Structure 1
């Protein structure tokens, strides 16, 4: 399978948002809460993120099958919404998206979060060098796990 990762355009927003809602459905099901931000994010809100975020997309056969976004503040790259179309998961696409977003962001530290029940995600982030540094209880249904990776030795 040939996958190309490149910068997304605002014109890709609707396709990425549709994929985002599909990809985060299992997360919502695991906590029985369909009001999580990735599922209720509006197209207007997402399009506005293109002004402040780097948004990447993974394409296979002309179709967007994955995406990730990030922004840099005070030397930290905040990575969010790593998504891969469910039938393409487990093929290294998420890993490739993470590696490319790290390259695209001039930062000395990377930070992201996921749900504490998202064992596959946490495993991926650990393999990429991320370590848990904080947990935050959002409610009886959700605890977020915050992970970080320091890259002071890398030059961007």
Structure 2
């Protein structure tokens, strides 16, 4: 398994995985107009200009993807998606770790998920994320979560 930066030619496969993965999120919130489901291929391709999109490849097949963008000293993570046959195998956790570490200069990381997404909320909270706020986006209430990144450990790693 490899974690790599995605290329724009990966966009059709990434979009397919994203739409498949976010159906369950839409069902939890009874909102099928969430952006990951309504996004077009052209919209996803344009995101390659201002975000880093990572992919996880296993046996030459993309099985997961996620996005990260640096906003000041905060890494903003989004659109994490794992193919359904690979869920529950730690793939999402590995992807999250890679996204968190993508920008070494970041001091904190933020993301959001739907309020009814108990599995996602549990994973994020086990990894040290704390709830920041709730906001209604469309028909869905989302929970914003964040955590500080350990800059002392990063400094030690870069010195060695």
Smaller-chain TM-score bracket: over 0.9
How far has the Cα of 1:154 moved from its partner? 4.2
Query: How do residues 80-119 of structure 1 correspond to structure 2 at under 5 angstroms?
Result: 80-105=78-103, 106-119=105-118
Aligned residues: 153
Mapped to 1, the partners of 2:17 and 2:26 lie a distance apart of 14
TM norm structure 1: 0.93
Unaligned runs of 5+ in 2: 156-160
SS of residue paired to 1:24? helix
- The residue matched to 2:75 in structure 1 has which SS? strand
Displacement after TM superposition at 1:137 (Å): 2.6
- Kindly indicate whether the alpha-carbon contact (under 8 Å) linking 2:29 and 2:114 is maintained by their aligned counterparts in 1: no
Structure 2 counterpart of 1:50:
48
Distance 1:56 1:48 in 2: 15
- Unpaired segments ≥5 residues, structure 1: none
Aligned to 1:136: 135
* Runs of 4+ more than 2 Å apart: 152-156
Which position in structure 2 is the counterpart of 1:153? 152
**The structure with more helix, counted as a fraction of residues:** 2
CA RMSD of aligned residues (A): 1.3
Cα distance in structure 2, aligned partners of 1:67 and 1:138: 23
